Amino acid sequence: MKKSCSGSFVALIVLCLASVSGFGQSGALTGAGSTFVNPLMSKWSKEFHALHPEVEINYQSIGSGGGRQQFLARTVAFGASDAPLTDEQVAQAGGAANVVHIPVTQGSVVISYNLPGVPKQVRFSPDTVAGIFLGTIKMWNDPKIAADNPGLSLPTWPVLVVHRSDGSGTTDVFTDYLSKVSADWKAKVGRGTSVQWPAGIGGQGNEGVANQVRNTRGGVGYIELAYARQNKMPYGSVKNRAGNYIEPDPTYVTDAAASLKDLPSDLRFSITDQAGSQAYPIAGTTWVLLYTDQSNIAQGKLAASFVEWAITDGQKYANELDYAVLAKNLVQKSQAALRTVKCGGKPCLQK
């Protein structure tokens, strides 16, 4: 029998909305973390709410470091990070059986610069990228940059490096790449969400780095592709392992992910510096972090439902916002991991 929604009690409103949508759940869901994924997460939140008006998604774009901290403190329903939890953080979360990493999207970290009057896209080899961020390449007309860009007239301006000042998954992706392609970088700086930068000034979030580069003549920094395109900022192509200069288009991020042959069971992996001929080399993944034993059953069901939608139907919004669509095998493994999340001892996902 079809239920009527004409009751006089305000308390019935939420129940009626749920019955109209067919979703059967209502409430607010709070997540925090990655600024890298924020443009896509904002789109997902809006579209999921349009499908299910009884659900509000509140995502706080505070950086991957902050997202992991809030996740570990259990102050949010889910964390979002462009770097997986470390072994130490997994232990802090209660062990590998107590936490899942769900890949929700992938994208490119670009080298954006402010060089008014330079007519063509600047190309960067791995040695040049490392030299710029190590602070050993100090001028834009340095012979190493010139060798990457034959025939391009480069200005005699100082190279002014901008990096992240906060704990950042974007930084983890970028320094993971540099640690793979530069022995000097690996020895002197290494990989991490926060490192001791040899040169440059800091900016808060992808937004802060983009603003610093945009307002600094000769500035150069690393940001997620969507931020560069939204701000109409130029960005370079990067030489990959196959020797090809590749633009950071989502298609070439998919090529990078496809080059990864074996996915670990815990889904903690890296797609930087992959071997594919068309693989963009500075590519990364955003994971949603969830506890497998959800103490708040209503929140757990909402979180699982939202994440499952994001990695399936929600993927149709990825390309338009400059993210790569997840490969089918990765979606399948992510769904299997999501089914291990329990609410009151039963799977949170409702069939």
pLDDT at 207: 93
Name the pLDDT band for 17 (thresholds 50, 70, 90).
Answer: very low
Share of the chain above pLDDT 70, in %: 93
Mean pLDDT of the chain: 92
pLDDT at 44: 98
pLDDT in tens, 311-349: 999 999 999 999 999 989 999 999 999 999 999 999 999
Instruction: Using the predicted structure, report yes or no on whether residue 14 has a pLDDT greater than 50.
Output: no
HSE-up of residue 75 (Cα within 13 Å, Cβ side):
9
User: What ranges do the domains of the chain cover?
Assistant: 23-106+284-347, 108-258
Work out the average pLDDT over 193-203.
96
Backbone phi, psi, residue 99, to 5° = -145, 145
How far is Cα 68 from Cα 73, in angstroms, rounded to an integer?
Answer: 8
Work out the average pLDDT over 20-39.
83
Work out the angle between the directed axes of helices 328-338 and 297-310 (0-180°, nearest 10): 170
| Domain over 108-258 is classified CATH 3.40.190.10 | yes
The alpha carbons of the chain give a radius of gyration, in whole angstroms, of 22
pLDDT in tens, 65-89: 999 999 999 999 999 999 999 999 9
3-state secondary structure 284-297: EEEEEEEECEECCH
pLDDT in tens, 241-275: 999 999 999 999 988 998 888 899 999 999 999 99
pLDDT at 259: 84
pLDDT at 3: 40
CATH architecture of structural domain 23-106+284-347: 3-Layer(aba) Sandwich (3.40)
Cβ atoms 191, 90 nearer than 8 A = no
Name the pLDDT band for 16 (thresholds 50, 70, 90).
Answer: very low
| Positive or negative torsion for Cα 269, 274, 278, 283 | positive
Work out the average pLDDT over 97-120.
97
- Give whole-number Cα distances, 210 to 34, 194, 223, 229, in Å: 15, 18, 7, 10
Name the pLDDT band for 4 (thresholds 50, 70, 90).
Answer: very low
Judge if 23-106+284-347 and 108-258 fold alike in CATH terms: yes
Position with higher pLDDT, 168 vs 20 = 168
Q: What is the pTM of this model?
A: 0.87
